[in-house]
Amino acid sequence: MVSTRFAAPVLVLACLVAGCRIGDKDDPPAMFDNHNGGVAAFGPDGLLFISTGDGGGGGDPQMNAQNPNRLLGKMLRIDVSTLPYTIPPTNPLANEVWGVGLRNPWRWSFDAPTNRLYVADVGQNRYEEVDVVMPDAPAPGFAVNFGWPLTEGSRCFPDDQAACNTAGQTLPVLEYDHSTGACAITGGYVYRGAAIPPLQGRYFYSDYCPGFIRSFRFTNNQAIEKIDWNTPDVGRVISFGEDASRELYVITASNKIYRIARQ
């Protein structure tokens, strides 16, 4: 039996070798090389979730993220128990799309045992955000909508002082602006390890420019107990990792890996 920790890349690789591709939509050809937004991981339902960026450029110029017939700017969900993959019957739009309105989801993760999905989505000019949703959140005909480019964070886009309709959107539980040097959020994991019990249930995240390490707890649909851990400068944080014991690691652009440990 293949562990789910390794099954996703194995099955995706098998799909590539077989010459198949995800989707048969009217996505325009790529014009930009940014906003790749890629994570592929199994959800608690055993289905493969895949995030995509909006195709790059500023302000989603190709209008991908809110278009349900395009796979860019989305959270996709497919069944890879057999190949070619199939569309889960519980997907809200009867295609690969599970969620819409993503810009550049730079790392997301599921939290067991709550099964909540934490998504860190990189903003455009002003706001970075973390969204939290349950895997059964979509209703038939209505995908989870993370808002972009109608909103950046919880603010209207492109004019964050304007009024706009956010009905039906999954608004962020946490957001911060760029006023102190932040530029691009890097999402992590909820700590479920045993080495540091006081950290249990805290979601960790960083930002590519200042390289801080911060965390919060998600309780009663809001982010509480927000902490900046004031760690030594580790450089540009590009990702987090989690081992088999659910201990957490910080990965930097300088090819270094740091373990989150008690001092």
What would the pLDDT profile of 164-209 be if each residue is shown by its tens digit? 989 999 999 999 999 999 999 999 999 999 999 999 999 999 999 9
102, 120 in Cβ contact below 8 A?
no
63, 56 in Cβ contact below 8 A?
no
Fill in the DSSP letter of residue 161: T
pLDDT band at 140 (very low <50, low <70, confident <90, very high): confident
Give pLDDT, residue 136.
74
70, 97 in Cβ contact below 8 A?
no
Instruction: For each of the domains in the chain, give its residue range(s) and CATH number, in order of start.
Output: 1-23+34-177 (2.120.10.30), 183-263 (no CATH)
Whole-angstrom distance, CA of residue 146 vs CA of residue 97: 13
Give pLDDT, residue 36.
82
Q: What is the pLDDT of residues 56-103, one digit of tens each?
A: 989 999 999 999 999 999 999 999 999 999 999 999 999 999 999 999
